Each structure stands twice: as structure tokens, then as C-alpha cells.
Amino acid sequence: MQVRNIIDKLYNTTNASREELLFLLDNLSEENKEYLIEKSHEVALKNYGNNIYIRGLIEFTNHCIRDCRYCGIRKSNDKADRYRLTVEEILECADIGDRLGYKTYVLQGGEDPYFTDEKMVEIIKKIKEKYPNNAITLSLGERSYKSYELMFNAGADRYLLRHETASRRLYESLHPNSKFENRIQCLRNLKEIGYQIGAGFMVGLPNQNNSDLVEDLIFLKELNPHMCGIGPFIPHKDTPLANEEGGTLEKTTTMLALIRLMLPKILLPATTALGSIDPLGREKGLKAGGNVVMPNLSPTSVREKYSLYDGKICTGDEAAECRACIERRINNAGFNLEITRGDSLVLSDKEREKINNKLINNKNNEIRLDNIFLIN
Ligand code: SAM
């Protein structure tokens, strides 16, 4: 077996066996890593061109009933300064976002029972009434089928639910009050309901080995999600994993590149966590096959409080500053920032046509040429 041949096989067929993927991860030299990045970048360009999509992230609550051992907003962290945005504050973020050219909002929070189905439906409907052509991505953790369905029917388009790790052993050691099967079932439910779904995992978790990462790749290949959020694990000082080592830029970009080769049409964010462990982390993520960035739209007053890990970047910048900064960075890295909803190419032509028709039918809204261009 040769690493270079496995990369070529992935590039040509999008497939590799467990054994080949493990061999590649165990034996990746600097030179072959460069080749891998080159190939993944080529595949990203072939599918999405030079364009990077932006999503405006609204971190609307840091209350959480879960106790994930790595996470700074876990239930048992008494030091977390808890907050919830009001409906009005969330709508204000949406207004600012639209003005700044965000055509997708990501509403993310801890698992907070305060935000009942009724409340979420109200928020989704209010945003959609005002901005029918903007997409709403939810990231609220595990909820019932019925709840996902209600929110989808209210107008939510996409749902991010990282599977965190496809290794049951690792999952169980990190999540004292969440079941592996349920998390995976939630992803399948979301897909069945009709959401564009995002899975994802952390790189460099304590006790994670290359075989575990291979399981992540195989799992993603089988699930075929529309998006995949991966980032390095970064310790948070007030969690049980405070003294563990974090994930590296090297390993995270390797995983990004492999996902791009295995799932060429996937949307792949260069995450804030990657930008937090290296000043040029997001740019390096984009060069490794990434094609999405998610700058922060949350009010600056709560940014520090949504503290999942130590050293998170961009906690002091106003939304407009973040927007300008990210565009500068994207351009400097040789990419172009694309102002559209940025739907996934994993969608079938029929699904894309359906979205297109819905946008055209939103008669109160100006039809943007760039939306039509994208959907077609
Ligand atoms: N509650 C929702 C959920 O469970 O999907 C969304 C919010 S959750 C805080 C968002 C993501 O943050 C998680 O999926 C996890 O991968 C990531 N995260 C949490 N703690 C982290 C850490 N210490 N380092 C890196 N990423 C972390």
C-alpha cells in the first residue's frame, strides 16, 4: 500500500476502505500531506469554484441540560454566566445580518428547554416573514421528531447536529447524559423530514485514535450529509478536560481534505475553533477544501459568555467588523466571498428546483439574481 495511491484513489473514485484510510492517517508524510491538500483544493474548486459562503451565527442561549465533558457551557459548569437572547434581540441580529449581506442565519444554542417548540416556531416564522429568501439553519441539539418537524414546517431549512464522534466508546466516555444511538437517530430523522443536515466531529479529543477518525469518515460517507462541521477539540478551563491536550491544525486540515475528497459536493466550514488555534487557521481550512465561514452575529455583550472552549476568537468585534474582517481574509487567501443562501450541491436537481421555486414565489421579496444563479 502507498499513501499517494490512496489519495489518487480517493480523488478518482471518492472511496477507500477502512484499512486504506487508516494506513493513510498512520503514514502521511509532509510531502503527501501537501499533495492531499492540493487535490482537495482542486475538488473544491471543481464543485464550488473559488467561492466561499458566509453564514451569520446567532448564539442565542448558553443554557444547556447536557453535560458534555469537553464543553464550556455544560450543565455542571457553575462558573458559566448564563444568558438568553429575547425574540426581539434575535430579530435584531437578523436585521443586522441581512444588512451585512448574510443570506443564511445559524441559530445555535445549548439544549435549553426554555426554547420550547412554540417559542422556536414563533422565532422562525418571524424571521421568515421578514426575510423569506434567507435560509435558517438551526443548531439546538437533540429534540424529538415532532419538534424537528414543527420547526421545519415553520420554515427552518437546515439543521447542524455534529455527531461529535462516530466511535461509540469515545462518545459514551464524553457524554454522561446523551445516548450515541439517539444522536445518530436525530440526524436520520432530520434528513427524513427534509432538512439539509450537517453532521460533524471534533479532532484531537482525548483518547481519540486514527481508527476513531476513520470511523468518522466512513460514517459521513454513509450518511451523506449536506454539510459537515469539523474542528479541533480545544480544552476549556472549567471542564473535566481542562488539562488535556487539544487537537492540532495539522490533523484537522488533513481530515477536512479527506472529507472533501470523499464527499466532493459537501459544504465544509473552516470553523472558528480552527481560527482559534492558529491565526491563519480558517484560511488554511479553506485551502484544505473548506468552502464556508460562519462569522458571529451575536450581540457583543454575550459573545464572551458563549464560551465553549478557551481562546475563542472574535469575541469583541461588532458584527460589521467581523463581516469586513472575514471578507478581507477570504480575499487575501485568494478566494471570493459569495453573498447567497449557499445551498448544498448535495441536494438533488429536483430539490434545488423546489427551493428555487419557493424563492421566486416569495413575491414580497426582491428576487436576487445571485440566488437564482446559485440554485440553477
Ligand atoms: N447544543 C447544540 C448541539 O449539541 O449540537 C449546539 C451547540 S454545541 C455547544 C456546538 C458544538 O460545539 C458541538 O457540537 C461541539 O462539537 C462544539 N464544542 C463544544 N465544546 C468544544 C470544545 N471544547 N472544543 C471544540 N469544540 C467544542
**Which atom of ligand 1 has the smallest separation from the CA of 164?**
16
Please tell me what DSSP assigns to residue 35: H
Q: How far is residue 309's CA from residue 288's CA, in Å, rounded to a whole number?
A: 23
The 10 Å Cβ neighbour count of residue 357 is 10
Residue 308 CA to ligand 1 center (angstroms) comes to 7
Helix, strand, or coil here: 105? strand
From 61, 70, 239, 306, the mutation candidate for ligand 1 (largest count of ligand atoms within 8 A of CB) is: 70
Query: Ligand 1 center to residue 71 CA distance, Å?
Result: 6
CA of 230 to the centre of ligand 1 (A): 10
Q: Is the CB of 159 under 6 A from ligand 1?
A: no
Ligand 1: which residue has its CA nearest to atom 4? 141
| Distance (Å, whole) CA 285 – CA 159 | 22
In CATH, the architecture of 47-345 is Alpha-Beta Barrel (3.20)
Angle CA 97–355–198, to nearest 5: 65
In this predicted structure, what is the pLDDT of residue 364? Answer: 52
- pLDDT in 10s for each residue of the chain, 376 residues: 899 999 999 999 999 999 999 999 999 999 999 999 999 999 999 999 999 999 999 999 999 999 999 999 999 999 999 999 999 999 999 999 999 999 999 999 999 999 999 999 999 999 999 999 999 999 999 999 999 999 999 999 999 999 999 999 999 999 999 999 999 999 999 999 999 999 999 999 999 999 999 999 999 999 999 999 999 999 999 999 999 999 999 999 999 999 999 999 999 999 999 999 999 999 999 999 999 999 999 999 999 999 999 999 999 889 999 999 999 999 999 999 999 999 999 998 888 888 888 888 775 555 443 444 443 3
Candidate of 71, 178, 182, 237 to mutate for ligand 1, largest count of ligand atoms within 8 Å of Cβ: 71
Every domain of the chain and the residues it spans: 47-345
Counting ligand 1 atoms within 8 A of each CB, the residue from 308, 310, 312 with the most, and so the one to mutate, is: 308
Residue 124 near residue 136 (C-beta atoms within 8 A): yes
274 C-beta closer than 6 A to ligand 1: no
Q: What is the pTM of this model?
A: 0.95
* Per-residue pLDDT, 251: 98
* Whether residue 330 has its Cβ less than 6 Å from ligand 1: no
State whether the beta carbon of 71 lies less than 6 angstroms from ligand 1: yes
